[in-house]
């Protein structure tokens, strides 16, 4: 795809995340005033991740334009560092966490919305904002994956990083419960302690599966056309 349309698309997505975050933080919700504030919710953490990621993408686009035609090796080295950070964020955070939020939210919502999104929240959160937080995240990140080739780290390292993120959020959730006596999500209030351990374990497995799916999708999109390269991770996806 052309460079300029891709740049404009990334800027539009970044601005949309700024708008969503501003509207979300402006909500007068009791949960925002309690311990941990918005940072207790994985949805909010994911929005910040996506905004930072697309901000980094836009920064790389601007830097590429500014350094185009230049011969500064230092600028090229710094740009390569930014690209490496962008690719790492895509692999470990932006895609797996974004896909996890969309999948788990709508799965629980369709099963019993009160487990994750009680009807009381309809009085605070408009439908467009709900979809901005829980729906458009996935198509946005897939669009970015389709327009730009991202290099994934070694799978063992990527999975380890994703697991650390998942375990870190679980520990944070447990700490919030320890301090406040209330679980962040209603579903955790309704199940026994052993069931919570199983639930957390399954959720960690699910986010790891999304990491692998992101790697496979990226490989399918970008390795398939370049049959002369030796970078294919999944040759059975070639036609």
Residue 29's pLDDT is 81
Residue 114's pLDDT is 87
Residue 237's pLDDT is 37
51-60 per-position pLDDT tens digit = 999 999 999 9
Is the whole-model pTM more than 0.85?
A: yes
Q: How many residues does the chain have?
A: 239
Question: What is the spatial distance between Cα 114 and Cα 88, in angstroms, rounded to a whole number?
Answer: 35
- Domain assignment of residue 229, given as a range: 3-237
Mean pLDDT confidence for 194-220: 95
Question: What is the spatial distance between Cα 11 and Cα 61, in angstroms, rounded to a whole number?
Answer: 10
100-144 per-position pLDDT tens digit = 999 999 999 999 988 888 888 888 889 999 999 999 999 999 999
Q: Is pLDDT above 70 for 159?
A: yes
What is the residue-wise DSSP string for 98-155?
HHHHHHHHHHHHHHHGGGTS-GGGGGTS-HHHHHHHHTTHHHHHHHHHHHS------H
Residue 104's pLDDT is 94
Q: Is pLDDT above 80 for 236?
A: no
Residue 42's pLDDT is 95
Of 110 and 31, more confident: 110
Q: What mean pLDDT value characterizes the chain? A: 87
Residue 70's pLDDT is 64
- How many folded domains does the chain comprise? 1
């Amino acid at each position: 795809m052309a460079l300029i349309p891709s740049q404009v698309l990334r800027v539009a997505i970044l601005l949309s995340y700024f708008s969503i975050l501003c509207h979300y933080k402006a909500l007068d919700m009791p949960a925002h005033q309690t311990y941990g504030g918005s940072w207790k919710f994985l949805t909010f953490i994911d929005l910040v991740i996506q905004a930072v990621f697309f901000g980094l993408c836009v920064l790389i686009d601007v830097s590429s334009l500014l350094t185009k035609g230049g011969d500064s090796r230092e600028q090229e080295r710094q740009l390569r560092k930014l690209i490496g950070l962008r690719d790492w964020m895509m692999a470990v955070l932006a895609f797996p966490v974004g896909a996890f939020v969309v999948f788990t939210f709508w799965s629980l919502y369709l099963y019993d919305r009160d487990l994750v999104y009680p009807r009381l929240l309809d009085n605070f959160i408009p439908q467009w904002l709900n979809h901005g937080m829980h729906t458009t995240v996935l198509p946005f990140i897939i669009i970015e994956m389709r327009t730009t080739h991202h290099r994934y780290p070694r799978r063992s390292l990527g999975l380890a990083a994703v697991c650390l993120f998942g375990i870190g959020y679980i520990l944070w959730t447990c700490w919030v419960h320890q301090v406040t006596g209330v679980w962040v999500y209603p579903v955790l209030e309704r199940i026994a302690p052993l069931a919570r351990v199983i639930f957390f374990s399954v959720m960690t497995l699910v986010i790891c599966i999304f990491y692998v799916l992101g790697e496979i999708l990226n490989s399918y999109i970008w390795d398939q056309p370049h049959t002369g390269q030796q970078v294919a991770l999944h040759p059975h996806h070639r036609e």
